[in-house]
A and B are shown apart, each in its own frame.
Chain A
């Protein structure tokens, strides 16, 4: 985590941001989204182990505090306004949920259901729903920065009042921060002063490559200054810090304060995917980073934000929500090749095809 000195102006700005974005109510809501992300990931892993999942499962264990905060400060589309745009990556289960993706659509995609947002034709993490502001992931190695830039530039060119004050957010990892696509995207984002936030999760593992072979700068946040955007470096295992930093960055972007970068230091607590046991992660590295889903409740108990009964009840409620969602979709059909339009790209009836209930957004 960052050890940069903190002058008084930054300290006061942090206190102000905590007041605005990490109130007791927001911390409780945040914890619930973190739990939903963890609970869904664990359920998907269980389904994978039952051979019900097509492909791998990529989980966000250790990244929930950062990811959950993102959706909390984004504006979901409502009739008449397009809302914000989010390009989540492979570890953003919690962020997808907090920005409005339903448990059902996640299950549908992993289980290859025809009723899912990708109609059972694209794998697990590559899902998206433009009508809800979720861009489908092309690649987690930097491609989505340019995709979000393009969406925001298109909105700017159209100059639609209803698009005013909408923002775009995407995420990247420490490995992705070294790709060419990422650097081109960051440059466009900065040069065009787009209302956009790039959230960087330095989880110390570019698959199995450690930080010392991924980058040579002290802190990835120096890239923000290099490109000409505001950047903050935070402890990604500290839920409160994730809340105020992400909330502050998204709000600044929305208020025309230019592009923002949030660099969170944390540790990937599981393998790259369910196929990877992460046995190459040394114990001393593991020991340096707490699980945010252990640390957050402890801190909230210490701060008297919630009591243990409240935390326990929240877990029960979240697990029940997930189980009910799974039961609702488990018997939905797989794609029928005789009825599919086998085009390579999205088709006009992509959304209308999804007749019926797309799932309940918590």
Chain B
């Protein structure tokens, strides 16, 4: 049965911490250097929240900016989904905290845990709510305080990640209007150990020995993740476009997860999308996990590249392993 509504992405907001952690700073913490980091990742600096800052401290200003741009008040929101792996707490969900802080009095809220693919998954979930008529207006937040999940002795990971948060407001619109046209999500738990935080749930008790080993921090099999990311992101984009009977010419903007410039470039190349149509901000904000795509959308909105009618392809890959793509036309009908 065709959907009665289409989920429109009507506004975006973002928030970044003030503090910058530059490659020069990292040179003073681990054995690395600016040239190495830039040549292998494209990252020059990342933002770092002050220790003790929860994700809600970034989610709130990002959400407020988003709602203001959308011209709606918080009490009209039906639901809040926060994609993150570093919420304020495991319980309560950051979405609940945000719901209260925003004054979104009638909204439900929950967090969605799907690592770097979290925002695409959350946006897909919001689309499903709206297309099925279960909600009219959902705030989708993606963000992470990755600095709390990183061992700053591990030069393989500490150079890659930063903190940041973005939000997109999704509304019910006419079924034949702009909005989320389609999405595709995948996972493969066989690669679970390739990108993981070992001591972060019920499978591993945080013993003093585990904490001394640093099991509470991100561990990554960089080579495998890199290879899989390039392959899976381009595969899922091609698959989604075929399913929607679209071509690369139907893409105004490719907004990929910002994990590594050396993943972004080959992904775009395999899709045949020129780099001037690819939103890249990794140089300034690094990998913010669930925050990369909404932050990139916010940057594209700020520089005028994302506007009403823009045809946008989102693509992400992350720990799980999990990957997905989502195609949308921006703005209200």
20 contacts between A and B (CB under 8 A): A3-B153, A4-B153, A5-B151, A5-B153, A5-B154, A5-B211, A5-B216, A5-B217, A6-B29, A6-B151, A6-B152, A6-B153, A7-B148, A7-B151, A7-B152, A14-B28, A15-B25, A15-B28, A15-B29, A218-B212
| Bound Cα distance A167, B212 (Å) | 32
Map CB proximity to B onto A1-15 as digits: 1 under 8 Å, 0 otherwise: 001111111111011
| Bound Cα distance A12, B212 (Å) | 19
CB-CB under 8 A from A9, the residues of chain B are: 51-52
Q: State which of A8, A14, A15, A18 has its C-beta within 8 Å of the C-beta of B147.
A: A8
Number of residues from B at the complex interface, CB < 8 A? 21
Q: A14-B29, A15-B25 are in contact. Are A8 and B152 (CB under 8 A)?
A: yes
| Bound Cα distance A266, B152 (Å) | 22
User: Is residue B55 contacting chain A, with contact meaning CB distance below 8 A?
Assistant: no
| Bound Cα distance A7, B157 (Å) | 12
Q: Tell me the B13-40 residues at the A interface (CB within 8 Å).
A: 19, 25, 28-29
Q: State which of B51, B52, B148, B213 has its C-beta within 8 Å of the C-beta of A5.
A: B213
Interchain CB contact under 8 A, B212 and A8: no
Q: Tell me the A149-184 residues at the B interface (CB within 8 Å).
A: none
Interchain CB contact under 8 A, A11 and B212: no
CB-CB under 8 A from B217, the residues of chain A are: 5, 7
Give the 3 A-B CB pairs with smallest separation, nearest first. A5-B214, A11-B152, A9-B51
Q: State which of B148, B213, B214, B216 has its C-beta within 8 Å of the C-beta of A8.
A: B148
CB-CB under 8 A from B51, the residues of chain A are: 7-9, 12
CB-CB under 8 A from B326, the residues of chain A are: none
Number of residues from A at the complex interface, CB < 8 A? 15
Q: A5-B214, A6-B153 are in contact. Are A11 and B29 (CB under 8 A)?
A: yes
Q: A8-B51, A12-B48 are in contact. Are A18 and B151 (CB under 8 A)?
A: no
CB-CB under 8 A from B52, the residues of chain A are: 9
Using a CB–CB distance below 8 Å, which chain A residues touch chain B?
A: 3-12, 14-15, 18, 218, 240
User: Is residue B11 contacting chain A, with contact meaning CB distance below 8 A?
Assistant: no
| Bound Cα distance A301, B216 (Å) | 37
Label chain B's interface by main secondary structure: loop
Interchain CB contact under 8 A, B28 and A10: no
Q: Tell me the B142-189 residues at the A interface (CB within 8 Å).
A: 147-148, 150-154, 158
Q: How far is the CB of A134 from chain B (nearest CB, A)?
A: 33
Q: State which of B19, B148, B212, B216 has its C-beta within 8 Å of the C-beta of A4.
A: B212
| Bound Cα distance A5, B153 (Å) | 6
- B152 to chain A: closest residue by CB: A11
Interchain CB contact under 8 A, A8 and B150: yes
CB-CB under 8 A from A14, the residues of chain B are: 28-29
| Bound Cα distance A10, B211 (Å) | 15
| Bound Cα distance A218, B28 (Å) | 25
Map CB proximity to A onto B205-226 as digits: 1 under 8 Å, 0 otherwise: 0000001111011000000000
**B25, B48, B211, B213: which has the most chain A beta carbons within 10 Å?**
B25
CB-CB under 8 A from A12, the residues of chain B are: 19, 48, 51
CB-CB under 8 A from B213, the residues of chain A are: 5
| Bound Cα distance A240, B148 (Å) | 26
Q: How far is the CB of A296 from chain B (nearest CB, A)?
A: 15
Q: How far is the CB of B294 from chain A (nearest CB, A)?
A: 22
CB-CB under 8 A from B25, the residues of chain A are: 15
| Bound Cα distance A14, B152 (Å) | 11
- A22 to chain B: closest residue by CB: B28
Map CB proximity to A onto B85-118 as digits: 1 under 8 Å, 0 otherwise: 0000000000000000000000000000000000
Interchain CB contact under 8 A, A18 and B152: no
- B216 to chain A: closest residue by CB: A5
**A5, A12, A14, A18: which has the most chain B beta carbons within 10 Å?**
A5
Given contacts A5-B213, A7-B51, A218-B212, 14 further A-B contacts (CB under 8 A): A3-B153, A4-B212, A4-B214, A5-B151, A5-B211, A5-B216, A7-B217, A8-B150, A9-B51, A9-B52, A10-B152, A11-B158, A15-B28, A15-B29
- B212 to chain A: closest residue by CB: A4
- A13 to chain B: closest residue by CB: B51
CB-CB under 8 A from B153, the residues of chain A are: 3-6
Q: A5-B214, A8-B51 are in contact. Are A18 and B150 (CB under 8 A)?
A: no
CB-CB under 8 A from A218, the residues of chain B are: 212
**A4, A6, A18: which has the most chain B beta carbons within 10 Å?**
A6
CB-CB under 8 A from B211, the residues of chain A are: 5
Q: How far is the CB of A7 from chain B (nearest CB, A)?
A: 7
CB-CB under 8 A from A18, the residues of chain B are: 28
Q: How far is the CB of A211 from chain B (nearest CB, A)?
A: 18
CB-CB under 8 A from B212, the residues of chain A are: 4-5, 218
| Bound Cα distance A12, B48 (Å) | 10
CB-CB under 8 A from A7, the residues of chain B are: 51, 148, 151-152, 217
CB-CB under 8 A from A10, the residues of chain B are: 152
CB-CB under 8 A from B19, the residues of chain A are: 12
| Bound Cα distance A8, B158 (Å) | 10
Q: How far is the CB of B62 from chain A (nearest CB, A)?
A: 21
| Bound Cα distance A4, B19 (Å) | 25
**A8, A12, A218: which has the most chain B beta carbons within 10 Å?**
A8
CB-CB under 8 A from B29, the residues of chain A are: 6, 11, 14-15
| Bound Cα distance A14, B51 (Å) | 13
- A222 to chain B: closest residue by CB: B212
| Bound Cα distance A7, B148 (Å) | 7
CB-CB under 8 A from A11, the residues of chain B are: 29, 152, 158
CB-CB under 8 A from B214, the residues of chain A are: 4-5
**A10, A12, A218: which has the most chain B beta carbons within 10 Å?**
A12
| Bound Cα distance A10, B152 (Å) | 9
